[in-house]
Structure 1
């Protein structure tokens, strides 16, 4: 159904963005709900760790695999339709989970949830690009991602209370209703673009990095895949987000309960802390990227180093860590979530608007490809070292060692593609100054 483009106003832009972001909050609830119900799912379906991990692996595999088709559909059909269809699919998937009594039915439900989830975030980013000036895009993208993490709090607290206070069918049916509600409000409030582009508004300043010339290659998939900035986004998203995804989607909760011997309340509190930290750090990261678009990789390397140190600090010791140590650990992991959105900002500043959906989809695959591979690998390792399912810290130390592989591979990918992206920037007349040159310019402006 065609919907006429409304006149542009900043107030209307925020209404559209708010409605789309609310749909993304619901998507995060759907995405993370099984992660806090992992032990209950293992008992309900009577499955070992490898099979349990397949529920999340299938969901993330579908999510990652759908990014390119979703990007193509987004560029042709618009964000409003895709967000609405995604909400409907996730609602159907949660009803499927509510009444599934066998593994195949549950896996089919996770396919629906993964497919619906795949449509949402990149579509919201397209909404931001259409309704707001480019200078605001990094900050609003971060705010969107971090506000949506309220969905993780909803999963970790109210949903867990509902699950334990009622039953599996009731709790997951409520999530299905949430999906249908999101479908309704998206069709009511979200519009693809205003009649007047925001870049034509008075007072809007555009920088060279915001001008991405139209590509002579009319095939968006080939064009996005041949753009180094898309791949820099992919590897950036992977190196900062994959271990965060492993933790929040499935293995973080069991690790805290069994490996670190925390109570359920303590574990839920740490998940809530992660969400709050991400919500605070996200806008700071977004503002940094908006102010220093040519120095985004500095932040990527800093966050990657902090993540590696954080994981080593809990996996090298042979005894459970004190609570303050685990707080620092989850705080560091939490920063990886918003830092991964730098990858989508690379895609935004490297792809013309006609293939922005595909470029963003490619970048958005990174953390989820690394995530589902590691989730499955951790499950296999746990089944090998603890086939009875009675996991200990020693078992998790062995299983989580697989995280080293994507950390190394993705870091190399960032280094290689950063060089290639800077060559692309040079062809557009954008030169990344050396640090000393940039510092001299900064000092000149200050004085």
Structure 2
């Protein structure tokens, strides 16, 4: 086990750590980028969100490559691309060059989470996947921590260009570490039915039951933490630069703590025969409550709401574990890739769309009014409510039928109710369904 941790877990955690740094670093350098290159809110939103757009577009081909060639080869090559993008970003002199560099970074780290999850599913026991995923995301989220106070300290001495040169070198080093340290995994033999496997993922009703809710909540949490938390805290809460960086640091720690907490809870629930779907619903409801507290300016510390939002950014621990129950092990990367497409696609929409909405209001002393942020955040919450209703619809339908039966006859517990409220166990029936699909 120690050898697996040293040669498999930690190298991929290093790559995931860098992906988190790249995902959230624009929050800290946005002020310098705007002043040095004259970027407005819409341009800044586009620059930051293009990472997520390219990231989303790369998920399906990267997932297919991971299942076919293994995480070691694919991830090492992708990180080399990310390193080149970081070097170009540090040397860019205009918006177009920044967009190209940011796109290369997004492509290069697009396999960070998938390769790590694929490695975990390949080398670790299935019953420990949720817990190990939690550890992976916890260590990776330290990149978000690094992109706050430590990055701010480093910026005082280097500037954002030199910072990206350092990140480029670190990314090249991580690529070499994965290539030389990680053992080669046995690759499953591809069959002539392989082209249908991706279609099977996207036609699976269970996938489309969880994907909208996971994307609208997790994607929104990523978008807000990666860019719009800082402007809100500055424009609406009036925080100073020092207080702002401190709050972002706390939020980054919240991602780490959330990944560890959710992974541990999911692991303990699984030991008792309980799946992760109920816990995932509870987390998303808490997330929407935190957003609504910001929208309606509930008299609570807004820092508490932002901490909850950051914790939900780690809820992929649960959604990845749920998806892992739906599909065979050898297709784990493609299944998670399919989920990541909607994650990052929605993240792009929220990140860029928020900038466009803010631009509809005039700035006052360089600050956007609170109503602009409230309207933008309210749109995201509305979509999340619809996604939650869609996810709960099967449960609500069964509860409704059960209540009608109960009112007409002697109270009994409908077995279908228990079956619906519990996640699908790994039974022979479930295995037969999988065989039919694949």
TM range (shorter): 0.7 to 0.9
- Measured in 2, the distance between the counterparts of 1:437 and 1:168 equals 50
Match of 2:280 in 1: 300
Match of 1:139 in 2: 131
Cα 1:232–1:272, aligned 2, differ >3 Å: closer, same or farther?
farther
Match of 2:228 in 1: 251
Match of 1:286 in 2: 263
Instruction: Tell which deviates more after alignment, 115-124 or 167-176.
Output: 167-176
Match of 2:117 in 1: 125
Match of 2:249 in 1: 272
Match of 1:238 in 2: 215
Q: Could you tell me which of 313, 320, 332 is aligned with 2:293?
A: 313
* Contact 2:257–2:311 (Cα < 8 Å) also in 1: no
- Measured in 2, the distance between the counterparts of 1:192 and 1:229 equals 32
How do 1:381-396 and structure 2 match up within 5 A? 381-386=357-362, 389-396=366-373
Q: 1:205-253 CA distances to partner (integer Å, 9 max, x unpaired)?
A: xxxxxxxxx9977622112112233334423421431221122211111
Cα 1:435–1:194, aligned 2, differ >3 Å: closer, same or farther?
closer
Q: 1:46-88 CA distances to partner (integer Å, 9 max, x unpaired)?
A: 1221111111221101111111111111111110112212221
Q: Give the TM-score normalised by the residue count of structure 1.
A: 0.82
Match of 1:12 in 2: 3
- Measured in 2, the distance between the counterparts of 1:75 and 1:326 equals 43
Per the TM alignment, residue 194 of structure 1 is displaced from its structure 2 partner at its CA by 7.4
Q: Which runs of 5+ in 1 are unaligned?
A: 1-9, 198-213, 421-430, 439-447
Cα 1:417–1:285, aligned 2, differ >3 Å: closer, same or farther?
farther
Cα 1:349–1:419, aligned 2, differ >3 Å: closer, same or farther?
farther
How do 1:10-409 and structure 2 match up within 5 A? 10-15=1-6, 16-193=8-185, 219-293=196-270, 294-317=274-297, 325-386=301-362, 389-409=366-386
Three-state SS of the structure 2 residue aligned to 1:338 is coil
* Contact 2:79–2:175 (Cα < 8 Å) also in 1: yes
- Measured in 1, the distance between the counterparts of 2:138 and 2:416 equals 29
Cα 1:141–1:20, aligned 2, differ >3 Å: closer, same or farther?
same
- Measured in 2, the distance between the counterparts of 1:268 and 1:417 equals 43
- Superposed CA RMSD in Å reads 2.8
Per the TM alignment, residue 192 of structure 1 is displaced from its structure 2 partner at its CA by 4.1
Cα 1:436–1:402, aligned 2, differ >3 Å: closer, same or farther?
closer
Q: 1:288-312 CA distances to partner (integer Å, 9 max, x unpaired)?
A: 3234354422212211221122112
Per the TM alignment, residue 126 of structure 1 is displaced from its structure 2 partner at its CA by 0.6
Q: Could you tell me which of 397, 414, 429 is aligned with 2:391?
A: 414
Match of 2:402 in 1: none
- Measured in 2, the distance between the counterparts of 1:417 and 1:94 equals 46
Cα 1:109–1:67, aligned 2, differ >3 Å: closer, same or farther?
same
* Contact 1:229–1:417 (Cα < 8 Å) also in 2: no
Q: Give the TM-score normalised by the residue count of structure 2.
A: 0.83
- Measured in 2, the distance between the counterparts of 1:111 and 1:417 equals 39
- Measured in 2, the distance between the counterparts of 1:13 and 1:310 equals 38
Per the TM alignment, residue 148 of structure 1 is displaced from its structure 2 partner at its CA by 0.8
- Measured in 1, the distance between the counterparts of 2:181 and 2:221 equals 32
Q: 1:27-56 CA distances to partner (integer Å, 9 max, x unpaired)?
A: 211221112212222222212211111112
Per the TM alignment, residue 261 of structure 1 is displaced from its structure 2 partner at its CA by 0.7
**Matched positions, count:** 398
Per the TM alignment, residue 100 of structure 1 is displaced from its structure 2 partner at its CA by 0.7
Instruction: Tell which deviates more after alignment, 251-260 or 156-165.
Output: 156-165
Per the TM alignment, residue 338 of structure 1 is displaced from its structure 2 partner at its CA by 2.0
- Measured in 1, the distance between the counterparts of 2:248 and 2:80 equals 27
